[in-house]
Amino acid sequence: MTKANEEAEKIIAEAKKKSEEIAKSAHKEAEKIQKEARQKAEELRKNTESELRIAFRQAMSALKQEIEKMILTRTVDEPVEEAFQSGEFVNRLIITMAEKWDPEQSENGLVVLVPEEKQKETEKYLKEKVPQLLKKGLKIQPSSSLMNGFEIKPEKAGFKISITDKDLEAYLKHYFRPRLRKMLFEGENGQDG
Protein backbone atom coordinates (compact mmCIF):
# COMPACT_ATOMS: atom_id res chain seq x y z
CA MET A 1 0.00 0.00 0.00
CA THR A 2 2.82 2.36 0.50
CA LYS A 3 3.76 2.01 -3.11
CA ALA A 4 0.18 2.74 -4.03
CA ASN A 5 0.18 5.70 -1.62
CA GLU A 6 3.42 6.99 -3.07
CA GLU A 7 2.03 6.60 -6.55
CA ALA A 8 -1.17 8.39 -5.52
CA GLU A 9 0.79 11.21 -3.87
CA LYS A 10 2.95 11.51 -6.98
CA ILE A 11 -0.15 11.70 -9.19
CA ILE A 12 -1.71 14.24 -6.83
CA ALA A 13 1.51 16.31 -6.77
CA GLU A 14 1.71 16.25 -10.57
CA ALA A 15 -1.95 17.16 -10.82
CA LYS A 16 -1.40 20.00 -8.34
CA LYS A 17 1.65 21.18 -10.27
CA LYS A 18 -0.25 21.03 -13.57
CA SER A 19 -3.20 22.77 -11.95
CA GLU A 20 -0.89 25.56 -10.70
CA GLU A 21 0.73 25.85 -14.14
CA ILE A 22 -2.69 26.03 -15.80
CA ALA A 23 -3.83 28.63 -13.25
CA LYS A 24 -0.60 30.62 -13.74
CA SER A 25 -0.97 30.42 -17.53
CA ALA A 26 -4.65 31.41 -17.30
CA HIS A 27 -3.73 34.29 -15.00
CA LYS A 28 -1.02 35.49 -17.46
CA GLU A 29 -3.48 35.17 -20.35
CA ALA A 30 -6.11 37.10 -18.38
CA GLU A 31 -3.57 39.86 -17.60
CA LYS A 32 -2.57 39.99 -21.29
CA ILE A 33 -6.24 40.25 -22.35
CA GLN A 34 -6.88 42.96 -19.72
CA LYS A 35 -3.79 44.90 -20.85
CA GLU A 36 -4.88 44.70 -24.51
CA ALA A 37 -8.42 45.72 -23.55
CA ARG A 38 -7.06 48.72 -21.57
CA GLN A 39 -4.85 49.70 -24.53
CA LYS A 40 -7.77 49.42 -26.95
CA ALA A 41 -10.01 51.37 -24.58
CA GLU A 42 -7.34 54.10 -24.24
CA GLU A 43 -6.86 54.20 -28.01
CA LEU A 44 -10.64 54.43 -28.50
CA ARG A 45 -10.84 57.21 -25.88
CA LYS A 46 -8.03 59.17 -27.60
CA ASN A 47 -9.60 58.69 -31.04
CA THR A 48 -13.01 59.72 -29.73
CA GLU A 49 -11.55 62.83 -28.06
CA SER A 50 -9.68 63.69 -31.25
CA GLU A 51 -12.81 63.25 -33.37
CA LEU A 52 -14.82 65.33 -30.89
CA ARG A 53 -12.20 68.12 -31.03
CA ILE A 54 -12.30 68.06 -34.84
CA ALA A 55 -16.11 68.03 -34.88
CA PHE A 56 -16.18 70.88 -32.34
CA ARG A 57 -13.73 72.96 -34.42
CA GLN A 58 -15.79 72.32 -37.55
CA ALA A 59 -19.01 73.23 -35.74
CA MET A 60 -17.41 76.40 -34.35
CA SER A 61 -16.09 77.32 -37.78
CA ALA A 62 -19.54 76.80 -39.32
CA LEU A 63 -21.13 78.84 -36.52
CA LYS A 64 -18.61 81.66 -37.01
CA GLN A 65 -19.30 81.66 -40.73
CA GLU A 66 -23.04 81.86 -40.08
CA ILE A 67 -22.57 84.71 -37.60
CA GLU A 68 -20.30 86.50 -40.06
CA LYS A 69 -22.78 85.95 -42.90
CA MET A 70 -25.69 87.19 -40.78
CA ILE A 71 -23.82 90.34 -39.73
CA LEU A 72 -22.59 91.06 -43.26
CA THR A 73 -26.11 90.55 -44.62
CA ARG A 74 -27.50 93.03 -42.11
CA THR A 75 -24.69 95.57 -42.39
CA VAL A 76 -23.81 95.29 -46.09
CA ASP A 77 -26.31 93.37 -48.24
CA GLU A 78 -29.53 94.87 -46.93
CA PRO A 79 -28.40 98.53 -46.95
CA VAL A 80 -26.76 98.17 -50.38
CA GLU A 81 -29.83 96.46 -51.87
CA GLU A 82 -32.02 99.17 -50.35
CA ALA A 83 -29.76 101.91 -51.75
CA PHE A 84 -29.83 100.36 -55.22
CA GLN A 85 -33.63 100.32 -55.13
CA SER A 86 -33.43 104.10 -54.90
CA GLY A 87 -33.15 105.69 -58.32
CA GLU A 88 -31.68 108.76 -56.62
CA PHE A 89 -28.71 106.81 -55.25
CA VAL A 90 -27.91 105.09 -58.55
CA ASN A 91 -28.32 108.32 -60.52
CA ARG A 92 -25.98 110.16 -58.17
CA LEU A 93 -23.41 107.40 -58.62
CA ILE A 94 -23.75 107.75 -62.40
CA ILE A 95 -23.23 111.51 -62.16
CA THR A 96 -20.19 111.14 -59.89
CA MET A 97 -18.54 108.59 -62.16
CA ALA A 98 -19.36 110.51 -65.34
CA GLU A 99 -17.98 113.75 -63.88
CA LYS A 100 -14.79 112.03 -62.73
CA TRP A 101 -14.41 110.18 -66.02
CA ASP A 102 -14.52 113.44 -67.97
CA PRO A 103 -15.70 112.44 -71.44
CA GLU A 104 -14.11 115.59 -72.92
CA GLN A 105 -10.63 114.16 -72.30
CA SER A 106 -11.59 110.94 -74.02
CA GLU A 107 -11.69 110.56 -77.77
CA ASN A 108 -14.90 108.60 -77.37
CA GLY A 109 -18.14 109.50 -75.68
CA LEU A 110 -19.15 107.79 -72.48
CA VAL A 111 -21.95 105.20 -72.42
CA VAL A 112 -23.93 104.27 -69.35
CA LEU A 113 -25.91 101.03 -69.55
CA VAL A 114 -28.92 100.85 -67.23
CA PRO A 115 -31.73 98.31 -66.77
CA GLU A 116 -34.29 98.70 -69.57
CA GLU A 117 -37.07 99.75 -67.20
CA LYS A 118 -34.87 102.49 -65.67
CA GLN A 119 -33.63 104.12 -68.90
CA LYS A 120 -36.30 106.84 -69.18
CA GLU A 121 -36.16 107.65 -65.47
CA THR A 122 -32.34 107.91 -65.59
CA GLU A 123 -32.33 110.10 -68.72
CA LYS A 124 -34.95 112.41 -67.20
CA TYR A 125 -32.98 112.72 -63.97
CA LEU A 126 -29.72 113.48 -65.78
CA LYS A 127 -31.39 116.05 -68.09
CA GLU A 128 -32.73 117.85 -65.03
CA LYS A 129 -29.62 117.64 -62.85
CA VAL A 130 -26.62 117.62 -65.21
CA PRO A 131 -27.64 118.46 -68.78
CA GLN A 132 -24.05 119.52 -69.50
CA LEU A 133 -22.89 115.89 -69.17
CA LEU A 134 -25.37 114.78 -71.79
CA LYS A 135 -24.25 117.62 -74.07
CA LYS A 136 -20.63 116.48 -73.65
CA GLY A 137 -21.47 113.06 -75.06
CA LEU A 138 -22.76 111.00 -72.14
CA LYS A 139 -25.23 108.43 -73.51
CA ILE A 140 -27.73 106.34 -71.58
CA GLN A 141 -28.54 102.98 -73.15
CA PRO A 142 -30.76 100.11 -71.99
CA SER A 143 -29.36 96.71 -71.04
CA SER A 144 -31.53 93.63 -70.77
CA SER A 145 -28.86 91.86 -68.72
CA LEU A 146 -28.84 94.41 -65.89
CA MET A 147 -31.34 94.05 -63.06
CA ASN A 148 -30.16 97.09 -61.11
CA GLY A 149 -27.24 99.46 -60.98
CA PHE A 150 -25.37 100.36 -64.15
CA GLU A 151 -22.32 99.76 -66.29
CA ILE A 152 -20.18 102.59 -67.62
CA LYS A 153 -17.73 102.45 -70.52
CA PRO A 154 -16.07 104.54 -73.21
CA GLU A 155 -18.26 104.41 -76.32
CA LYS A 156 -15.75 102.61 -78.55
CA ALA A 157 -13.61 100.83 -75.95
CA GLY A 158 -13.75 97.14 -75.13
CA PHE A 159 -14.01 97.43 -71.35
CA LYS A 160 -16.66 98.53 -68.89
CA ILE A 161 -17.04 99.10 -65.19
CA SER A 162 -19.99 97.41 -63.55
CA ILE A 163 -21.69 99.03 -60.55
CA THR A 164 -24.50 96.82 -59.27
CA ASP A 165 -25.67 95.89 -55.80
CA LYS A 166 -23.81 92.56 -56.04
CA ASP A 167 -20.61 94.31 -57.19
CA LEU A 168 -20.73 96.77 -54.31
CA GLU A 169 -21.62 94.04 -51.80
CA ALA A 170 -18.64 91.94 -52.92
CA TYR A 171 -16.35 94.98 -52.79
CA LEU A 172 -17.46 96.01 -49.31
CA LYS A 173 -17.38 92.45 -47.93
CA HIS A 174 -13.82 92.05 -49.18
CA TYR A 175 -12.81 94.84 -46.78
CA PHE A 176 -15.26 94.24 -43.95
CA ARG A 177 -14.86 90.46 -43.58
CA PRO A 178 -11.26 90.41 -42.20
CA ARG A 179 -12.01 93.26 -39.79
CA LEU A 180 -15.24 91.64 -38.69
CA ARG A 181 -13.49 88.32 -38.04
CA LYS A 182 -10.79 90.07 -36.05
CA MET A 183 -13.34 92.03 -34.04
CA LEU A 184 -15.57 89.02 -33.33
CA PHE A 185 -13.23 86.08 -33.03
CA GLU A 186 -9.64 87.13 -32.42
CA GLY A 187 -8.29 86.19 -29.05
CA GLU A 188 -10.50 83.15 -28.56
CA ASN A 189 -8.08 80.74 -26.91
CA GLY A 190 -5.26 82.48 -28.77
CA GLN A 191 -6.78 81.72 -32.15
CA ASP A 192 -8.19 83.70 -35.03
CA GLY A 193 -11.60 82.77 -36.36
Q: Is residue 183 part of a domain?
A: no
Q: Is residue 5 part of a domain?
A: no
> Whole-model pTM?
0.62
Radius of gyration over every alpha carbon of the chain, rounded to an integer in angstroms: 41
Longest dimension (CA), the chain: 141
Structural domain for 99, as ranges: 87-173
The count of structural domains within the chain is 1
Q: Is residue 3 part of a domain?
A: no
Q: Is residue 143 part of a domain?
A: yes
pLDDT digit string (tens) for the chain, length 193 residues: 688 888 888 889 898 899 999 999 999 999 999 999 999 999 999 999 999 999 999 999 999 999 999 999 999 999 999 999 888 999 999 999 888 875 455 566 789 999 999 999 999 999 999 999 888 888 999 999 998 899 998 887 778 889 999 999 999 999 999 988 888 888 665 444 4
Q: Is residue 32 part of a domain?
A: no
Burial of 1 by CB count in 10 Å (0-12 exposed, 13-18 middle, 19+ buried)?
exposed
